[in-house]
């Protein structure tokens, strides 16, 4: 019975969770309580098992969507900071920072400025 109550917001919760939002950020964005967001993530969707939050920094370039990776690399090449890029793409700062570090190590980022 409880699962039916959250059927309409479950896809939005999963989308935000897969983008790296925390359960508190998801609850705030969707206007629901934090414990309801946690219930949907961990019990209904079992999203923590399907798409774990911890991503290996050695494969982040390959694991993230190609359009996001290209945008981050392009903006970093033009001298934008990780904070500015994270705000532009609406991703968590730490994920952008790790991706920039990894792309720099793989010589994918070449400074244009």
For the question of whether the overall pTM of this predicted structure is more than 0.75, the answer is no
The pLDDT, as a whole number, for residue 7 is 83
Whole-number Å distance between alpha carbons of 41 and 67: 26
The pLDDT, as a whole number, for residue 1 is 47
Copy the structure tokens of residue 89: 């793409």
Q: What is the mean pLDDT of each run of 10 residues along the chain (113 residues)?
A: 74 84 89 91 80 61 86 93 93 88 87 73
Domain ranges in the chain are 2-50, 60-105
In terms of Cβ atoms closer than 10 Å to its own Cβ (0-12, 13-18, 19+), residue 54 is exposed
* Placement of tokens 């991706």 in the chain: 99
Whole-number Å distance between alpha carbons of 14 and 47: 7
């Amino acid at each position: 019975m409880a699962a039916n109550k959250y059927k309409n917001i479950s896809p939005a919760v999963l989308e935000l969770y897969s983008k790296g939002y925390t359960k508190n950020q998801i609850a705030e964005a969707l206007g629901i309580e934090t414990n309801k967001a946690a219930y949907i993530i961990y019990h209904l969707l079992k999203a923590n098992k399907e798409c774990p939050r911890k991503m290996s920094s050695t494969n982040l370039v390959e694991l993230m969507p190609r359009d996001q990776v290209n945008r981050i690399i392009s903006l970093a090449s033009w001298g934008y900071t990780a904070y500015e890029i994270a705000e532009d793409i609406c991703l968590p700062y730490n994920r952008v920072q790790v991706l920039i570090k990894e792309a720099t190590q793989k010589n994918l980022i070449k400074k244009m400025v």
